[in-house]
Each structure stands twice: as C-alpha cells, then as structure tokens.
C-alpha cells in the first residue's frame, strides 16, 4: 500500500490527473503545429480570363463557391459580347433612350466615370469603338486609316455618359457609342469576391482574377502574403515582391495583348485622346490599393499617362501605392512601399517621392 488512507489516494489521483491534463494540453498544442487550416480553391474561366480563388477557414468550401457564383453573376451583367447583358442593353440604346440597370451595373459605371474625371480622361469606358476598330475585341487585328481612327475617336468621351440615380438608368447620348467595362470589371469583381468571402467564416484568402490579385488575412504560418509583380519582359519571373496583406495588386501592361504588323507592335491599351494604342514609356504599371476598382482603373490610366505624369499623379493623390516598370527596364516604386516592396535578385528599385 502506497497511501495510508482514502483521502490521500483521492488527492494523489487528482494530482495525477492534473499533471496528465497539462501534458495533454501540451501534446495537443504541439501536434497542432502540423494541423492545416481548412482550405478550398476554385479555378474557372470568366470575364475572358482564368480565375483562381483560394480561401482558408472553417467555411472555405462554401465561401469560394459563393464567390465564384458572384463572379458569374457580374459577368452576365457586364459582358459586352453577351447580347442579353446590361452593358449590351446600354450600348444597344445609345443615342435612343436610357437603359434601366441593376445596382451593380449602376455602381460600376459610376466608379468608372469617377475614375475618368480623376484622371482627366486617361481612363475611359467609352473607348469601346476604338478597341473594335483595331480588332482587339475579336482578336482580328487591323491597323486602321487616320480617317477611321478619327471617326472612332469622335465617339469616345466619358462626358457623353449620363447617369440618373433616381431612376437608376444609364444613357449614352451619342448614337453608335459603346462602353466596355474591361478596364474595371475585374477590379470590381475582386472587391465583390472579398466581400462575399468575408461574409463566411474565412480567415484568409488569395484571389487572382486573371492576374488581378487580392490577398487578405494571414498565411497558415502567420506570415504575410508575398505577391510577385510580373516582369513585363519575362512573364515567368517577377521584378519584385510585395510582402503585405489586405491589399489588391493590379497590373496593366502592353505585354498582355498586342500584335505586330510591318515591324511595329500595337498594344491593346488605347489612348482615349488619339484613338490609337498608348505611346507610353512604361512597360507595366502596378497599383497597390485596398480598393480593387480603383487599382484596375488607375493601372490603365497611369500607363496611358507615362512615367512622369504617373509619378505626379501619385504625388497629388497618395491614396494608393504604385510600381512602374519603364520600357528601359527601370523599376520605380512610390516611397510608401519602402519596407513592403523589394526588387528580385538582379533588379534594382528606385523609390520616388
């Protein structure tokens, strides 16, 4: 007999239990190091691009499926090639009558017009007739004559778009005008995907809508996300890496779509002023912002502006961050990225203020 009476036996048993419980907690916490959060990924084609949404958390599976459905829903509203979309309805009624639209379409067009005003027309959704003329809508490329360019450019002006908030209508005041939301739709969708994911029990997510990236929360190892910015001269590598979270990173560049004729390369980013491909000294523009719609519109607008005006625009706004890669390969980053953006090996970054 180890113990002299019943009380001591009970007390000793409790002591054992306490020690075992402590060790149990220790063991389970240690084995927890290897446990992975529930992860779910969806890959799909939408908005004429390839999309990947990955979420981490208890309801990750439900969340990514709901986010995918939301993107499809937006595509059905915003597509210019789908006859039944609201954007097609607006275009079909150009110069005829205002078209009633959903809250999403109204909102995305409002944001687009706001971006046009902010950038003095460097971003313009009425660029559609010019895109069509050069064949970028159908991938049947064509270099138009100066008369043709002029005629198409006549139809481009965001001030010809009239919004009526009380009746929720959009009216293109000139006949044959057309809008294309290609420069904002994915950014808007990215914001909506984040909103949908956040309505579920999700701790973190990584979203890539055709290279338009958004990340939020922390990675499984509690570190921040590493978002690479593609090298416009070699898309298999990147010029630098951003280490951050709760941001969208949206990049535009002439490398995305272009064609070469008679030794000259024509890119898909058009200058709304000239009706011709933008003659920019930039190879790519990446906007880092909490707002995907803003990032999408500004990446196009700053590309059209060129490096000097783009840096000036950042100085006068500073509600976003930017990484510019010039056609000479120089990497320029706004100074607020010091500490979060680092050039990849073999590259150098100049922070501007």
Write out the residues near other proteins by the rule CB under 8 A.
1-5, 7-8, 10-12, 14-16, 19-20, 23, 26-27, 30-31, 33-34, 43-45, 48-50, 139-140, 206, 208, 211-213, 215, 219, 225-230, 235-236, 238, 241, 249-251, 253, 256-257, 286, 344
Burial of 264 (0-12, 13-18, 19+ CB in 10 A): exposed
CB 247 within 8 A of CB 267: no
The DSSP-derived string for 64-125 is: HHHHHHHHHHHHHHH-SS-TTSHHHHHHHTTTT--EE--HHHHHHHHHHHHHHHHTTTSS-G
Based on CB atoms, which residue is closest to other proteins, 250 or 337?
A: 250
Q: Which residues contact 222 (CB under 8 A, 6 or more apart)?
A: none
Based on CB atoms, which residue is closest to other proteins, 27 or 338?
A: 27
Q: Please, how many CA atoms are within 13 Å of residue 282, restricted to the half-sphere of its CB?
A: 29
CB 180 within 8 A of CB 155: no
Q: Measured from the CB of residue 111, what is the shortest distance to other proteins in angstroms?
A: 20
Q: Measured from the CB of residue 71, what is the shortest distance to other proteins in angstroms?
A: 15
CB 243 within 8 A of CB 225: yes
Q: Measured from the CB of residue 285, what is the shortest distance to other proteins in angstroms?
A: 11
Q: Measured from the CB of residue 116, what is the shortest distance to other proteins in angstroms?
A: 23
Q: Please, how many CA atoms are within 13 Å of residue 292, restricted to the half-sphere of its CB?
A: 24
Cα separation, 222 vs 51, whole angstroms: 25
Residue identified by tokens 């064609």 is 259
Q: Measured from the CB of residue 70, what is the shortest distance to other proteins in angstroms?
A: 18
Based on CB atoms, which residue is closest to other proteins, 164 or 220?
A: 220
Based on CB atoms, which residue is closest to other proteins, 240 or 272?
A: 240
Integer angstrom CA distances of residue 203 from 221, 244, 338: 13, 15, 27
Q: Measured from the CB of residue 57, what is the shortest distance to other proteins in angstroms?
A: 17
Q: Measured from the CB of residue 222, what is the shortest distance to other proteins in angstroms?
A: 14
Based on CB atoms, which residue is closest to other proteins, 91 or 286?
A: 286
Based on CB atoms, which residue is closest to other proteins, 49 or 110?
A: 49
Based on CB atoms, which residue is closest to other proteins, 50 or 351?
A: 50
A 10 A CB-CB count for 84 gives: 9
Q: Measured from the CB of residue 113, what is the shortest distance to other proteins in angstroms?
A: 25
SS3 188: helix
Based on CB atoms, which residue is closest to other proteins, 41 or 92?
A: 41
């Amino acid at each position: 007999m180890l113990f002299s009476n019943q009380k001591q036996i009970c007390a000793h048993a409790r002591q054992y239990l306490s020690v075992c419980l402590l060790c149990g907690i220790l063991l389970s916490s240690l084995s927890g190091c290897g446990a992975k959060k529930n992860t779910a990924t969806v890959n799909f084609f939408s908005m004429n691009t390839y999309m990947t949404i990955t979420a981490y958390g208890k309801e990750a599976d439900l969340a990514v499926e709901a986010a995918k459905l939301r993107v499809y829903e937006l595509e059905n509203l915003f597509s210019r090639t789908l006859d039944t979309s609201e954007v097609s309805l607006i275009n079909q009624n150009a110069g005829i009558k205002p078209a009633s639209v959903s809250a999403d379409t109204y909102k995305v067009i409002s944001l687009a017009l706001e971006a046009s005003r902010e950038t003095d027309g460097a971003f313009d959704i009425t660029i559609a007739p010019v895109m069509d003329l050069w064949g970028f809508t159908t991938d049947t490329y064509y270099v138009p004559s100066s008369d043709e360019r002029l005629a198409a450019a006549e139809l481009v002006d965001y001030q010809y778009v009239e919004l009526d908030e009380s009746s929720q209508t959009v009216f293109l005041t000139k006949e044959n005008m057309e809008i294309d939301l290609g420069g904002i739709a994915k950014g808007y969708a990215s914001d909506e995907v984040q909103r949908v994911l956040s309505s579920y029990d999700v701790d973190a997510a990584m979203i890539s809508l055709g290279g338009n990236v958004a990340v939020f929360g922390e990675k499984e190892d509690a570190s921040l996300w590493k978002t690479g910015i593609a090298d416009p001269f070699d898309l298999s590598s990147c010029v630098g890496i951003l280490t951050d979270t709760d941001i969208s990173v949206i990049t535009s560049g002439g490398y995305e779509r272009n064609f070469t004729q008679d030794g000259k390369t024509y890119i898909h980013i058009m200058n709304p002023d000239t009706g011709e491909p933008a003659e920019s000294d930039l190879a790519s523009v990446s906007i880092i912002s909490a707002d995907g719609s803003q990032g999408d519109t500004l990446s196009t607008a700053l590309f059209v502006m060129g490096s000097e005006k783009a840096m000036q625009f950042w100085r006068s706004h500073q509600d976003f961050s930017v990484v510019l890669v010039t056609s000479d390969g120089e990497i320029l980053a706004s100074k607020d990225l010091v500490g979060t953006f680092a050039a990849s090996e073999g590259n150098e970054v100049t922070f501007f203020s």
